Structure 1
Amino acid sequence: MAAIAPPAAGTAPGTPAVRPRRRRRPRTARSPWLHVAMIPVTLLWLSPILFVAFVAVRSYDDIAGRGLGALPASFSLDGFTTALTDGGVLRSLGNSLVVTAWAVLLSLALSAIAAYALSRFAIPGRRTILLTMLAGNLLPPQILLVPVASITEALGIADTLTALVIVQVGFGIGFYTFVLHGFMRALPAEVFEAARLDGAGPGGIFWRIVLPLSRPPLAALAALATTWIFNDLIWAMTVLRTEAKFPVTAALLNLQGGYASAWNVVAAGSLVAAIPTAVVFFMFQKQFVSGLLVGASK
């Protein structure tokens, strides 16, 4: 027979004992000093952007007469007009968007397929394959400029946006595969076993299960890849020759040479070039943070 605990003192016999409720700890109010301390840090981080914005909306005569560091005494959008039309920033911005969209899409698609195969199939030497793909990103790009230029010329795709897309995909797929491989390998095996019992094949499992579960790391990699590819200059200058095919980074470099004294034009072009990456980051901000925290609680 199970032993019955005696009733607590002060209770009548036969009355069931009542367990005392645990007192909830009062929630401590968040200290506002963290936000107060972050205000000067935020202003310090935003100061270069604000400085460039002030220069971009000033006229050339204002900058030449009062100096670059003076407060704006005029408001003019001539710098944006000159940068977008005469400076070729608008055309180069379109080239960058095309290259970035195709390179990010192809890189993540190929990396997802490669990571799924390397993490879920018994491929001979898969660890060596993965490390070899990752090792390509550890090489300094400076020593690969001449080989990359020679290969594109030998293939007949030099001075084309297609060549730039292929180069961006080739040098990014190793890192993306490495990140996605670590995530896909941590997925529970019971999910795959249940899918096989339901009659799903490898392609169906990848499309219906793996890809939906991999949205956080894919979104984080998409944000990073967009920033890297859109802001790239070294591979664009290596592969391309024609000015009409230059991305926006190369156009800004030419803008600094052609409008060396017109700082409002250079500042306006820099602001326009920064808009796409800022938009992408703010669109994928929540997915980016969740993608970076994937696996932190495991």
Structure 2
Amino acid sequence: MSATTADIQQTDWSQYELRKHKLTPGRVILYVFLTLMALLWLLPMLLALYNSFREFGYTLEHGYVSFGGFTLDNYPNAWRRGGFSMSFGNSAIITIVAVIVTLALSSSMAFVLARVKMRFNFTLLAIFVAANLLPPQSLLSPIYRIFRSMPLPQWLSESGSLLDTHASVILINVAFQTGFCTFVLRNYMIGLPAAMYEAAEIDGASLWRQFYGITLPLIRPALAALATLQVAWIYNEFFWATVLLQSGDKMPVTSSLNNLKGTFFTDANLLSAGSIIAALPVLLIFFVLQKQFVSGLTLGATKD
């Protein structure tokens, strides 16, 4: 009886695999459509990559959709003129500190919202989410004035205020990203088994022990996915770094791309090479954490 059941299950699974891989007209149309959309999305990036290996004079004469005029000089020139040696270090400081602080604060707040019963839990969560709906441009003037009026010792800030410091960019990124991360982690923690926390309370585990010893190990996939997103968002952030930082030696790599623009004309090939250089760290981090990123997004999507 069991053997017959196993054979039936095997046959059903084989038929499912055949149906899954069978090319129907609708599936062919879907594949063609998705391929065209992917190529359309990649076209500007591929065009920038292609022209970053070409001389500006040749493309100016023959057009960007042409073949020839190849050179490798754009990349060392972009690195030198953009000051990437210094700006990459600035981006690393801003991104690493902001991501660590954001995930630490958001995981703590998410744990409280998910596991501690308070009357205003939903109100706090709504405030966190609502803060992300505000356009950054509407807060430009008040934030600029607040940071300019916050005094700092001269040895910490040449301007004597929080303005024109890495701390200002870190604080603004933490403020804008903490709400989103709290929302994601809170929903993730709610799905954890409540019986596990009840057993921990019976064993005398404190709230801190439940957070550090139980919750954090279980939300590693979600933290990895959020860390990947936060690194990409904070590293690529351009608006606030340009507004709050005024010294060229403190600019992150995205703002340093302005150094590649000329007064009367811009070498688009040189700028393309600089953009490719600036994008490489994020691409490397994504490929390194790709497995954790996908598992963090899909964990809980199916049930056994």
TM-score, normalised relative to structure 2: 0.84
Higher helix share: 2
Judge conservation of contact 1:259–1:265 (CA < 8 Å) in 2.
Answer: no
Task: Point out the more displaced range, 134-143 or 195-204.
Answer: 195-204
Residue in 1 aligned with 2:244?
239
Residue in 2 aligned with 1:11?
none
Judge conservation of contact 2:81–2:259 (CA < 8 Å) in 1.
Answer: no
Structure 1 residue aligned with 2:267, among 262, 271, 274?
262
Task: Point out the more displaced range, 44-53 or 251-260.
Answer: 251-260
How far the C-alpha of 1:113 sits from its partner, in A, is 0.6
Structure 2 residue aligned with 1:76, among 50, 68, 71?
71
Q: 1:37–1:175: structure 2 CA closer, same or farther, 3 Å change rule?
A: closer
Q: 1:159 aligned to 2:164?
A: yes
Q: 1:47–1:192: structure 2 CA closer, same or farther, 3 Å change rule?
A: same
Q: 1:171–1:41: structure 2 CA closer, same or farther, 3 Å change rule?
A: closer
Judge conservation of contact 1:57–1:264 (CA < 8 Å) in 2.
Answer: yes
Judge conservation of contact 1:84–1:90 (CA < 8 Å) in 2.
Answer: yes
Judge conservation of contact 1:83–1:268 (CA < 8 Å) in 2.
Answer: yes
Structure 2 residue aligned with 1:146, among 141, 149, 163?
141
Structure 1 residue aligned with 2:47, among 32, 51, 59?
51
Structure 1 counterpart of 2:44, one-letter code: P
Q: 1:203 aligned to 2:199?
A: no
Q: 1:130–1:36: structure 2 CA closer, same or farther, 3 Å change rule?
A: closer
Residue in 2 aligned with 1:288?
293
Residue in 2 aligned with 1:21?
4
Structure 1 residue aligned with 2:99, among 85, 104, 109?
104
In the aligned structure 2, how far is the partner of 1:84 from the partner of 1:217? Answer: 35
Judge conservation of contact 2:260–2:266 (CA < 8 Å) in 1.
Answer: no
How far the C-alpha of 1:35 sits from its partner, in A, is 5.5
Q: 1:257–1:130: structure 2 CA closer, same or farther, 3 Å change rule?
A: farther
How far the C-alpha of 1:212 sits from its partner, in A, is 1.0
In the aligned structure 2, how far is the partner of 1:240 from the partner of 1:214? Answer: 35
Instruction: Please give the secondary structure, in 2, of the residue aligned with 1:241.
Output: coil
Task: Point out the more displaced range, 246-255 or 50-59.
Answer: 246-255
Runs of 5+ in structure 2 lacking a partner?
Answer: 151-160
In the aligned structure 1, how far is the partner of 2:264 from the partner of 2:63? Answer: 16
Residue in 1 aligned with 2:192?
187
Instruction: Please give the secondary structure, in 1, of the residue aligned with 2:227.
Output: helix
In the aligned structure 2, how far is the partner of 1:133 from the partner of 1:37? Answer: 38
Identity of aligned residues (%): 39
Q: 1:20–1:75: structure 2 CA closer, same or farther, 3 Å change rule?
A: closer
Residue in 2 aligned with 1:4?
none
Q: 1:63 aligned to 2:46?
A: no
Aligned length: 280
Instruction: Please give the secondary structure, in 2, of the residue aligned with 1:187.
Output: coil
In the aligned structure 2, how far is the partner of 1:261 from the partner of 1:144? Answer: 31
In the aligned structure 1, how far is the partner of 2:243 from the partner of 2:32? Answer: 47
Q: 1:190–1:259: structure 2 CA closer, same or farther, 3 Å change rule?
A: farther
Task: Point out the more displaced range, 124-133 or 109-118.
Answer: 124-133
How far the C-alpha of 1:67 sits from its partner, in A, is 2.5
How far the C-alpha of 1:65 sits from its partner, in A, is 3.4
How far the C-alpha of 1:20 sits from its partner, in A, is 7.9
Structure 2 residue aligned with 1:168, among 151, 167, 173?
173
Structure 1 counterpart of 2:216, one-letter code: L
Q: 1:243–1:188: structure 2 CA closer, same or farther, 3 Å change rule?
A: same
How far the C-alpha of 1:39 sits from its partner, in A, is 4.3
Structure 1 residue aligned with 2:228, among 186, 207, 223?
223
Task: Point out the more displaced range, 154-163 or 252-261.
Answer: 252-261
The equivalences for 1:272-287 within 5 A come to 272-287=277-292
Residue in 2 aligned with 1:86?
81
Structure 1 residue aligned with 2:110, among 108, 115, 122?
115
TM-score, normalised relative to structure 1: 0.86
How far the C-alpha of 1:110 sits from its partner, in A, is 0.6
Q: 1:258–1:217: structure 2 CA closer, same or farther, 3 Å change rule?
A: farther
In the aligned structure 2, how far is the partner of 1:51 from the partner of 1:173? Answer: 36
